[in-house]
Structure 1
Amino acid sequence: MKKSTLTQLLLAAAMALPLLARAEEAMPPEGERPQLAGPRGDFPGGHPRGRFGAPGLPFLHGLELSESQEDKLFQLMHNQAPYLREQERAHDKAMRALHEMRNAEKFDDAAAAKLAQAAAQAQANLTLSHIRTHQKVLALLTQEQRAQIASRQQQGGFNER
Structure 2
Amino acid sequence: MKWDTLEEEPCSLARTVAVIGDRWSLLILRECFLRIRRFDDFQTSLGITRHLLADRLKKFVRFGVLRKIPYQEAPKRYEYILTQKGLDLYPIIMSIVHWGNVHMVDSRGRPLLHEHKNCHKMFDPVMICSECGEPLTAKAVHVHPGPGARRSSPTSNGVSAKNAG
Give the TM-score, by structure 2 length: 0.24
Give the TM-score, by structure 1 length: 0.24
